[in-house]
Structure 1
Amino acid sequence: MPAEKKFILNLPLKVILTEEGTSHFISNKKKLLRIRLADNLEEYGISLNPFSPQSIQNMIMVDYISKIEISMSEFVSVRQEVMDLAKVVVYSILYKQFDRQVFADVIKCDCVRKHNRTNPSELIDERTKIDDKQLRSMISKKEIIIRQAKKEILDPVWKSIMENKEYSLEERNIYLLMTEKFLNRLSLMNWYIILKFFKDKEGFSQINIAIRHLLQIYMEKSRVAEYISILLMELALNAENNNLKKEAKVLYNGVEDLDALLFDPEVRSKIIAELKRKHELVSLSWKLGGGSTAIGKQGRLQIMVLNKSDENQEAKANIEDKMAADTNKRSLIDFYREIPDGQGSTDLGLYYLSYLDDACKKLNVKFESIVNQFANQDLTVINLIFNF
């Protein structure tokens, strides 16, 4: 189901701001922190716990956030919260991409081109800039027309969803909700154009068709959010489990069946407490696009799972250049296959990875998974890179 079902998430969130975000916070006299991230870089941002998913989404939508990160010793207790956050991030990027694509397609409509020819002083194109306050003022008095326009756009889309026998009842409900959310998050500029041509029957018909086509595409793409959140949680739990086993070997030296040991709630709590004391953390990081001015990169999302490398000293010594930024790089599927027996179940991870990869190919989402190991930092970084 789409995220946002929880109004508050209890996670230790580090938010790194873009230049726009930094300017906004400073102008509103908000104090920024110098935050050290899991890769040891320091950047300016804010720390939040708890936080509203909607507030994070709103900040992403206006290009205020460049990175977010959470670091914890265990993820089992916050499984749903982490998955909700992961979905919020993906949905936010999809909403932004949808909005950009609507604008790009609508300004190519014949009605807009005709308007530009006959009104050269009121051009509507890629260079058109109208202040948000001015747009809001123009649109604020047209709520009834906006509702009518939404209905005309959504009714055929919803009818098509309800009549599609390939969708389950749950899928229908999700798609009905998602299409409305995409439309509700259109920018003021797009609504300005829609309203400008609403009374032009032929012109609005062209715009309507363009928007409905994109709604269908992005409705399907939204499915990827669920798959990403599941794979990310599997990777986090796998890293957490490796850390638990390493610590269990220290605390319970000689115990052969570590899996059985970790199933004991008291033992598990003790090990987790020790990991927290030692500050042994698994970090999840989201790097968002390239900002509002990064041409071609606005729909890029890089998700990282960072954990201390468990390679032994002998293996590290064999790496030729320990100071290189990327001393060892391979695909995630190769990384899974190289995990020694007994160090974690890889079946689920491989299954989720394969499922996500297939879904991305079908939905025209570029997806790449890479594992980097930084010998000089004893760090393993799993990268999931998406271009929506």
Structure 2
Amino acid sequence: MGSQERKAIIELPVKVILTEVGTTFFIKNRKNLQKFKLADNQEEYGILMDKFTPSSLQRMMLIDYVSKIEISNSEFVTIRQEVMDIAKLITYSMLYRQYDAYIFQRVMASDVIKNWNRKNPANIIDDKTKINESFLQNVIKEKEHDIGDIKQSILAPMYAFISRNSSLLPEEKNIQLLLSEKFLNNLRPFIWFIIAKFKGLDGYETLIKDIRTSLADYMEKAKIAEYLALNIMELATNAENSNLKREAKAIFKGAVDMNSVLFDPNVRRQVIESLQRKGELVYLSWKLGSRGSSIGTQGKLSVTIYNKESEYEKMKEAIDEKKSTDLKKRSLQDFYKELPDGEANTELGLYYLSYLSEACEKVNIKYESLVNQISGSDLTVISLIINL
């Protein structure tokens, strides 16, 4: 698994569409919002982030300020790492949010809360309980040492398991250790307030065991981030190559070999500049389920690739075929060997769909991939929908 925050600053223009909560916050703080026309022709308000720290964007997602994120470019090869980093950052952020929501539910349903509510009917604790923010932060600060010890007790078995895993490289082990810590560190303060308050009482150990077990489950789910990022990048590259070849035909009238468009720097640059002048771009869009969404959709992450595609039916057929590939009969290595020369760039992204589907199935994540065409246009829409 690659690092989710490979770069301290990501330098790539990103349109961030805000939720109602996010919009209210920015307006109250007198921040100017921009009106964007998105790839689906919808007009929405948000902010443009030309360069940003991964943590700043992640924080906005964790507090439910972000509705959509969109990137557009004519060339993705040169921004591959940035796109991969953003894709993984979004998926991890959604998983942190889902883990937080799950643990909050488990805490509210735990014996420690039931026992408290039975003994204190006038001061019950439930999912509607409000605590003064400054009071909460003061308690968290006072209990900082205890909370640190509790986190370590939760993480200890995970640390041991990761350290013993001989299939992981040292760097991969460090990433896994960091990821496990991030899941806990992104739990809302109220959860740690409750855990620290009821430490050692009846039901406490059962609650800690529940948190530990579910952490292991979410660590498994986190593997999806890498698969999804690869899918997104390869499909974007596939769309880019399709555009390059189509534009090259129009420019050179068959006077150049199509492969030179992909591999000859001079020809490639000329074609890309032509696409940029025409504004023919590939769009990547992420739509995030909101905390306030209906039950079952809070963890929904929809990734969409928009592109002008002249052979829509061929693309749809190819994706439908690849996503149902029987992986038990053919490995990725076998697939590489069987590819005709020159086809790896366009076929690999489609084949990744099969691996993403299988990986999701293993960790009980709902996943589907769809190909559509916007009515009245030649815009092809590839959607990857995951319910975390």
TM-score, normalised via structure 2 length: 0.89
Contiguous gaps of at least 5 residues in structure 1: 316-327
- Out of 320, 332, 344, the position equivalent to 1:333 is 320
3-state SS in 2 of match to 1:284: strand
State the Cα distance separating 1:229 from its structure 2 match. Answer: 0.3
C-alpha distance in 2, partners of 1:182/1:344? 36
Contiguous gaps of at least 5 residues in structure 2: 325-340
CA 33–141 in structure 1, closer or farther in 2 if over 3 Å, else same: same
Other-structure match for 2:43 = 42
Query: What value does the CA root-mean-square deviation take over the aligned residues?
Result: 2.4
Over 6 Å off, 4+ runs? 328-331, 341-344
C-alpha distance in 2, partners of 1:261/1:383? 27
3-state SS in 2 of match to 1:126: coil
C-alpha distance in 2, partners of 1:346/1:261? 14
Question: CA offsets, 1:74-125, max 9 Å, x none?
Answer: 1111000000000000000000000111111122222221111111233222
State the Cα distance separating 1:239 from its structure 2 match. Answer: 0.4
State the Cα distance separating 1:126 from its structure 2 match. Answer: 2.4
Other-structure match for 1:117 = 118
C-alpha distance in 1, partners of 2:6/2:241? 28
Matched, 1:364 2:351: no
In the alignment, residue 272 of structure 2 is paired with which amino acid?
A: I
C-alpha distance in 2, partners of 1:330/1:130? 54
Matched, 1:380 2:380: yes
Other-structure match for 2:287 = 287
Other-structure match for 2:61 = 60
Other-structure match for 1:158 = 159
- Conservation of the 8 A alpha-carbon contact between 2:322 and 2:351: no
Matched, 1:181 2:182: yes
In the alignment, residue 6 of structure 1 is paired with which amino acid?
A: K
Q: What are the residue-to-residue correspondences of 1:44-123 with 2, within 5 Å?
A: 44-123=45-124
Percentage of pairs with the same residue: 49
CA 19–166 in structure 1, closer or farther in 2 if over 3 Å, else same: same
- Conservation of the 8 A alpha-carbon contact between 1:106 and 1:210: no
3-state SS in 2 of match to 1:350: helix
3-state SS in 2 of match to 1:49: strand
Which stretch shows the higher mean deviation, 157-166 or 360-369?
157-166
Matched, 1:126 2:127: yes
CA 240–300 in structure 1, closer or farther in 2 if over 3 Å, else same: same
- Conservation of the 8 A alpha-carbon contact between 1:332 and 1:382: no
3-state SS in 2 of match to 1:50: strand
State the Cα distance separating 1:331 from its structure 2 match. Answer: 8.5
C-alpha distance in 1, partners of 2:344/2:306? 17
In the alignment, residue 109 of structure 2 is paired with which amino acid?
A: K
- Conservation of the 8 A alpha-carbon contact between 2:323 and 2:357: no
In the alignment, residue 203 of structure 1 is paired with which amino acid?
A: G
Question: CA offsets, 1:188-236, max 9 Å, x none?
Answer: 1111111111243x43312210110111000111110000000100000
- Conservation of the 8 A alpha-carbon contact between 1:15 and 1:47: yes
- Conservation of the 8 A alpha-carbon contact between 1:301 and 1:387: yes
Other-structure match for 2:331 = none
In the alignment, residue 96 of structure 1 is paired with which amino acid?
A: R
State the Cα distance separating 1:26 from its structure 2 match. Answer: 0.5
Q: What are the residue-to-residue correspondences of 1:253-264 with 2, within 5 Å?
A: 253-255=253-255, 257-264=257-264
CA 64–84 in structure 1, closer or farther in 2 if over 3 Å, else same: same
Other-structure match for 2:246 = 246
CA 68–261 in structure 1, closer or farther in 2 if over 3 Å, else same: closer
C-alpha distance in 2, partners of 1:244/1:330? 21
- Conservation of the 8 A alpha-carbon contact between 1:234 and 1:349: yes
- Conservation of the 8 A alpha-carbon contact between 1:242 and 1:344: no
C-alpha distance in 1, partners of 2:97/2:158? 20
TM-score, normalised via structure 1 length: 0.89
CA 132–293 in structure 1, closer or farther in 2 if over 3 Å, else same: farther
In the alignment, residue 198 of structure 2 is paired with which amino acid?
A: F
3-state SS in 1 of match to 2:32: coil
CA 7–170 in structure 1, closer or farther in 2 if over 3 Å, else same: closer
